[in-house]
Structure 1
Amino acid sequence: MRKPTAKSLILDLLLANDGRPLSARQAIAACAIFDISVNNTRVALVRLSAEGLIESAGRALYQLTDDAHLLADDVATWRTKAQRVRPWAGDYLVVQADKLTRAEAKQQRARNRSLHMLGFQALNPHLFIRADNIEDSPDAVRARLYRLGLEEDAPVFRARDFDKDTEKRIHALWNPGQLETLYTQHELKIRTWLERHDLLEVEVAARESFLLGSQAIKHVVYDPFLPEQWVNIDARERFIRIVHELDGVGKTIWMKLWSELDT
């Protein structure tokens, strides 16, 4: 698993901290677990502040800024994502978006992120599509897409009654078998770690829980949550349950690490 950078680690810890600030001392201790130097940690704090992602919450304390919360709060909804999936009635959600120029690369990244996070795939260069089985209405999906970076003049609408060939093309945009393999492999990996984590030193357990948890949560965040007609949702639900369990264990481990730091 890839080692985090100082910046990504600090942001992830703040996101997982349930609104509580992170101290410079905690940031330094956390980065040390990943062999990141004190100097690099301090530089990362300065850069995150300059980029408007963190701000002072007191003496040597940091919290996410309002701008950082726009994306961070949506990522944090992974815990309730499965609860916002509903039965699929055969309709699709479609986004129409014009091609962007090279000069609009920043907007292209924001668009790609928003579409990817909500499970859309490109049917053609101007149309992006997914099954209409998430959130409670197209309005809710539209609002999330705009909030995450899709340009607000891009139409988002419901569609159905595609011809058979187009239906086949739509279904081929995702690989359910690959998703099911991912669910099974990660469930086994997490379950195996949970069975042995209490034998580890707290720093080792903190590092491993962070790496394993970050990878698993990313998969949940970007999972397209395909309808049950397309994918084995039992395997998906088992995977999500074990990720929730890992998340709880990981938080307990990191709280233990912080308490030892204060003694």
Structure 2
Amino acid sequence: MRAALSRLKEREKLRNLGRGIYGLPEKPMIEWSFNRSWRDYVEEIIQWSGHWVLASWSNNAKLSRSESLSKEDLLHRYGFRKWRPQLFIRPDNITGGLPAMRQRIATWSAADQFEFSEMRQVEMKLETHLMSHWNDSVQNHDNIVSLLNDSLLKTRGEITGETVAEVLSVGRCAVKSVLKNPRLPEPYGNHANLRELSTTLATYEVHGLELWTQYLEKCLE
């Protein structure tokens, strides 16, 4: 436990409030804020006008492989895919357009050297080629929805360590599934399927919070 607490402190996920007393950071970590934004992540989808957002950085030669991968992973969080060397692209179907996307990326520490631009009037042949970069990302969330519903029924009984552990694990799995969706425009994406998952997850989250509240109250008795 001491080793785990020490690692969490080093990563600034916990802070030491006194001898044997720990608390959460004064400011939420950006990763935590991003994970908690899964509701907004779904609601940000808007109708696509055919425009694209491009992201790149100009000093690729000065970056180590790990630094380059870190930047690529950050862009992947927001549905970008590599089109050409150090050039990433995604459909501009997220609310706020280019300025808002620039602001989202800028909240991360690894984003100080990104450059953004917009591309319009793309020929159909090129559009088809660009959309092929997401072939491995098209998701069907039906299995996650079923998992949430099954777990909801299963954990409505006695509150135990096993049940609260399950809702935490299943809830994390569902959130991860939402945030991995690149939010492609129709007909390339499936917004109805994603929204069904979001609605089911919202119900499950309320259930999970109630379970954990009751479980912690029992532990303190």
**TM-score, normalised by the number of residues in structure 2:** 0.88
More displaced 10-residue stretch of structure 1: 205-214 or 109-118: 109-118
Does the CA-based 8 Å contact 2:53-2:91 persist in structure 1?
yes
Question: 1:203 corresponds to which residue?
Answer: 161
What is the match of residue 108 of structure 1? 68
Partner SS for 2:53: strand
Selected match of 1:234 from 176, 192, 200 = 192
Q: Offset at 1:81?
A: 1.6
Q: Distance in 2 between matches of 1:203 and 1:162?
A: 54
The whole-number CA distance in structure 2 between the counterparts of 1:143 and 1:108 is 20
Compared with structure 1, are the counterparts of its residues 199 and 101 closer, same or farther at alpha carbon in structure 2 (3 Å cutoff)?
farther
Aligned: 1:161 with 2:161: no
Is 1:216 matched with 2:177?
A: no
Larger fraction in helix: 1
| Preserved CA contact (<8 Å) 1:110 1:149 | no
* Distance apart, 1:241 and its partner CA: 0.8
Q: Distance in 1 between matches of 2:216 and 2:48?
A: 45
What does residue 38 of structure 1 align with? none
Query: Which 5+ residue runs of structure 2 have no aligned equivalent?
Result: none
Distance in 2, matches of 1:58 and 1:123, equals: 50
User: Aligned in 2, Cα 1:252/1:151: closer, same or farther, shift over 3 Å?
Assistant: same
Indicate the percent of aligned positions where both proteins have the same amino acid: 20
Are the equivalent residues in 1 in contact too, given 2:42–2:194 (CA < 8 A)? no
Secondary structure of residue in 2 paired with 1:93: strand
Residues 1:188 and 2:138 are matched in the alignment:
no
Q: How does 1:39-188 map to 2 (within 5 A)?
A: 41-57=1-17, 60-64=21-25, 66=27, 69-98=29-58, 100=60, 104-175=64-135, 178-180=138-140, 183-188=141-146
How far, CA to CA, are the matches of 1:242 and 1:42 in structure 2? Answer: 37
Preserved contact between residue 148 and residue 200 of structure 2 (Cα < 8 Å): yes
Cα deviation, residue 57, structure 1: 4.3
**What residue in structure 2 maps to residue 259 of structure 1?**
217
Task: State the secondary structure of the residue aligned to 1:119.
Answer: coil
Cα distance in 2, alignment partners of residues 133 and 157 from structure 1: 14
1:11-26 correspondence to structure 2 within 5 Å? none
Q: Which residue of structure 2 lines up, in the alignment, with residue 34 of structure 1?
A: none
Pairwise CA distance, 1:132:
0.5
Query: Which has the higher mean CA deviation after the structures are superposed, 167-176 or 95-104?
Result: 95-104
Distance 2:14 2:47 in 1: 39
Per the alignment, in what secondary structure is the counterpart of residue 49 of structure 2? coil
Give the CA deviation at 1:80: 1.9
Distance 2:6 2:124 in 1: 55
The normalised TM-score by structure 1 is 0.75
Runs (4 or more) in structure 1 with deviation over 6 Å come to: none
Deviations for 1:78-121, whole angstroms, at most 9, x for unmatched residues? 12222222111111111123474696244324312321110101
Aligned to 2:203: 245
Judge conservation of contact 1:213–1:243 (CA < 8 Å) in 2: yes
Which residue type is aligned with residue 203 of structure 1?
A: G
Root-mean-square deviation over aligned CA pairs: 2.3
User: In the TM superposition, what whole-angstrom CA distance separates every residue of 1:22-74 from its partner, at most 9, and x where no partner exists?
Assistant: xxxxxxxxxxxxxxxxxxx22111121133332134661311254x6223212
Which one has more relative contact order, counting CA pairs under 8 Å at least 6 apart?
2
Corresponding position of 1:30: none
